[in-house]
Structure 1
Amino acid sequence: MQSSQNSQASQYSVPSRYAFNAPPKHLYELMTCANDEVVTTVGTPHHVLTTKHGWFLLTCADCKKKIITTSPPYKCSNEHVTPDPQIKYKVHVEVCFQGLKVRFVFWDRECQQLIGKTAEELKTIMIEAGKFDRHEYHAALDDMMGKELAFKVNYYKLVSVLNYKTREAIIQYLKDQIPNNRSSITYYMCPVTVVLFATQQDLSATSESSYAETKMKTPAKRHGENSSPDDAKLSSNKVMRNIKIEKIKKIRLDM
């Protein structure tokens, strides 16, 4: 069966092979995908979104599973004890296309490719600068932003990036295949000012689809639930900003 699928894929052009068994979808369609469905799409990474785990996770040196303890002895879900866990990227990024914004999760390989540094290398840079903290977002993460990309993703609660392509022919092919008729589609779209600080109730109500929009790129640090938005700092220019909190509104787009 696998050889048959590979034979079929080899008959297509490079762009169509990228979308083989991964149908092109608009961002607004991603939330309607079946769990674990693999699809392709187009978008531009805009800025990093803050999360409770920060910009990385720790993994087991033996089996690569996530470390589930917060202090030594470090253990993974397979009960392996790891004295020196590995640090891997896990970065939540707001991706935009045609005015829509969706949270994507970028994993270690793709982050390394876009940033040009491993998570361990970035950790070393931050330690040498005296600033290492999982909730401090280094300016190097901005290197992931601003370039339109073709994505292969799957959806399970959040959109997870499997890989990306920069080739213009692939991007244009997906754009040509993505449906333009959105008259009957209801989806979540960000207002001009959107959530930077949200309660757990807000996050649950929007199925983790709250977005942090600051008109800059990378937030410097995520404060606790009781922090005031007035305390927020942004790494791009280190200025203080007042961020208005609004819930994401479910709207219908009329064409």
Structure 2
Amino acid sequence: MSVSHIIILQYETATVTVAKLEKFEAGKSGWYYQGCDQCTKRVTHKDGKFLCYANHETQKHVPRYKLEVHVVDSNHKAIFIFWDSDYAKLIGKSTNNLKTELVEAGEDDPLKFPYPLDSMLNKDLEIRIVYQPKYGRLVVVGFRYGEDSIKNLRDQFPT
């Protein structure tokens, strides 16, 4: 389904599209957030401990990817949200490894997108998403990268 068709849907919908990752959108927390070590929820620091929104209490937090990426298909654009495991698969590095490399290089600003994240920009992906019209979000739940996969999908759904 094209991005232009997806963004006018009225109900939460899971679908597949082919789109090019164009650029990053700097969200409130940047390219990563501090997550729980027991689940994927964000943690807050309270009384010397970290507490996530699922009420897990922990002594440490784990950095996790949350990337808002502008995607384009033809002339239509939208912002897709890539979560931790999907973007780690895309670039081959965990958030923790990338953050450690940046700290060692003297850079730790979450609002500055590191170069390794750029490796997937300007490439077409077959992206499985869930569109949540209530929140206006397009959440990535999987992807495939490769010309054969993309060609097969485009052949099934001509424009």
TM-score by length of 1: 0.57
Aligned sequence identity (%): 29
Does 2:6 align with 1:30? yes
Question: Which residue does 1:83 correspond to in 2?
Answer: 59
Distance in structure 2 (CA, Å) of the matches to 1:64 and 1:166 = 25
Does 2:97 align with 1:118? no
Deviation sequence 1:31-77 (CA, Å, 0-9, x none)? 1234431000001111111111111122211233222x256421112
Distance in structure 2 (CA, Å) of the matches to 1:37 and 1:100 = 19
2:144 to 145, 149, 165: 165
Structure 2 gap ranges (5+): none
Deviation at 1:148, TM superposition (A): 0.9
2:72 to 81, 86, 96: 96
> Structure 1's 92 and 146: CA in aligned 2 closer, same or farther, altered over 3 A?
same
Supply the AA of the counterpart residue of 2:146: R
Deviation sequence 1:84-125 (CA, Å, 0-9, x none)? 111111101111111221111111122112212110011101
Alignment of 1:189-208 (within 5 A): none
Give the structure with the larger strand fraction: 2
Distance in structure 1 (CA, Å) of the matches to 2:18 and 2:96 = 29
SS of residue in 1 equivalent to 2:7 = helix
2:130 to 154, 161, 165: 154
Deviation sequence 1:135-185 (CA, Å, 0-9, x none)? 1211111012121111110111211111111233331232234463xxxxx
2:154 to 175, 186, 202: 175
Deviation at 1:27, TM superposition (A): 0.9
SS of residue in 1 equivalent to 2:20 = strand
Does 2:119 align with 1:140? no
8 Å CA contact 1:26, 1:178 repeated in 2? no
Alignment of 1:54-73 (within 5 A): 54-67=30-43, 69-70=44-45, 72-73=48-49
> Structure 1's 172 and 136: CA in aligned 2 closer, same or farther, altered over 3 A?
same
Higher-Rg member (1/2): 1
Distance in structure 1 (CA, Å) of the matches to 2:61 and 2:41 = 10
Which stretches of structure 1, 4 residues or more, deviate above 6 A after TM superposition?
Answer: none
8 Å CA contact 1:107, 1:161 repeated in 2? yes
Structure 1 gap ranges (5+): 1-24, 181-255
Supply the AA of the counterpart residue of 2:153: L
RMSD (CA atoms): 1.8
SS of residue in 2 equivalent to 1:32 = coil
Distance in structure 1 (CA, Å) of the matches to 2:89 and 2:78 = 21
